[in-house]
Structure 1
Amino acid sequence: MARVRWWGTGLVALVLLVLGAGLPLLDKALGSRGTPLAPGTVVSVGTERDGVRPVTFVVPSPGWVLDRADTSLASNAELLSGGVVFSLSVVVPLGSVDARKLWNGLGRIVAAGGHARVRAQPVPITTAHGLTGLTGGLAGRRRAGMATVFAKDTLGATVTASGPPRAYREVASEVEAMVRTIRIAAP
């Protein structure tokens, strides 16, 4: 009979354990997923013109992290806090843009993702700078949140923020505060 040696199997199992458990812990410890943002940080999104991006918003409180893996400041920014994802995308339409068209388009995009839906009847929202748009709830399986759209001249912005219901409730006021700081500069 052949003699079975388990040390090789044990070594393979140890390597898999280190890779499976150790690397995510190391990644989290090093913070390579995101960049913590201080309260008052201005995040600018959109194609730069003369060194300025056209859409901005302000981070209202600590605990938000810029997700570098899912952010391209030329088109979108994604922030994370306690399981909640805040995503702002710049919209450059081919023709004229208005908030109702953006809302309908965002609704189709969110529904296509299969995880959530926006409410059919949004309500008007105005930022601290006078920018007007539409906002409403976002709901799905084990998800709660909100969606907002803004349109100005030939540029728009869509925002979704969602997460597990409890986590979203904890940061809902912070999400609304960020949304109310959005500015769109004319291109």
Structure 2
Amino acid sequence: MKALTYLLIAFFILLNCSDDSIKTMDFGDFQIQTPRHWKELKSDACDSNAGIIVTKNKDSIHFDYGMYSNSLDENPIIINRTMLKEILLQDSKIDTTELIIVENIEKVNREDYLKSKISYKNIDGYNAKILIPKKIGNGMTGIYIDKIKTELHGEVKFNFMGENLSKQSQTELLTAINTLKFTK
């Protein structure tokens, strides 16, 4: 009987500890449950509800609720080697670090050069695009919703994302995304 009592006490202590590790962050237009250690930085956004959250690992999570929210599309710049030579003839000091250089651009599968995988999921009744890096620490993790509602000046969109996140921050962000609730 004593063992059962101790087991029940331990269970309730563990249950209470896990509840203490989560908090609800309320941004007016939406709420999200996050790890307690996430901290919001104030933003000076004037045309949307935007901000930054810093994780325990000092990773930055950005959000934007408004008409101009970024759709989180990746646009790798893929060029063939011949084109690179022409570009360098025009300007030998041009930054080429972001370029993907291939021998034959016609044989390229653009998807092979994207850093993140894309899937779609229903979050709080909205069709959401979810991004997860193909390789942890290299790419975007986040959510984009194309239409939350329509207002006088246009459609309200939403994104919540981080780039090149640590494994822990990525896992926490993906868990938090599932708890999003929008003010209707």
**TM superposition score normalised by structure 2:** 0.51
Residue 160 of structure 1 pairs with residue 161 of structure 2? yes
The 1:75/1:170 distance shift into structure 2, 3 A limit, reads: same
Q: Letter of the aligned partner of 1:106 in structure 2?
A: L
Counterpart in the other structure of 2:72: 106
**Greater per-residue strand proportion:** 2
Asked if 2 retains the 8 angstrom alpha-carbon contact of 1:126 and 1:180, the reply is no
> 1:67 offset after TM fit, Å?
1.7
Instruction: Indicate if the aligned counterparts of 1:122 and 1:134 stay in contact, CA closer than 8 A.
Output: yes
1:64-143 correspondence to structure 2 within 5 Å: 64-68=38-42, 70=43, 72=45, 74-81=48-55, 82-92=57-67, 105-107=71-73, 119=116, 122-127=118-123, 129-138=124-133, 143=138
Return the TM-score normalized by structure 1. 0.50
Shift of 1:62: 2.1
In structure 2, C-alpha distance between the alignment counterparts of 1:111 and 1:75, rounded to whole Å: 28
Can you give the 5+ residue segments of structure 1 that lack an aligned partner in the other structure? 1-37, 45-52, 94-101
Q: Identity over the aligned pairs, expressed in percent?
A: 6
Q: How many residues align?
A: 122
Hey, what's the Cα distance between the residues in 2 that align with 1:158 and 1:179? 10
- Higher helix residue share: 1
Structure 1 runs of 4+ aligned residues shifted over 4 Å read: 70-74
> Distance between the aligned counterparts of 2:179 and 2:45, measured in 1?
20
Q: Is the 8 A contact 2:115 2:139 kept in 1?
A: no
Unaligned 5+ residue runs, structure 2?
Answer: 1-20, 78-97, 99-113, 151-155
Partner of 1:59 in structure 2? 33
Once residues 64 and 171 of structure 2 are traced to their aligned partners in structure 1, the CA distance between those partners, rounded to angstroms, is 20
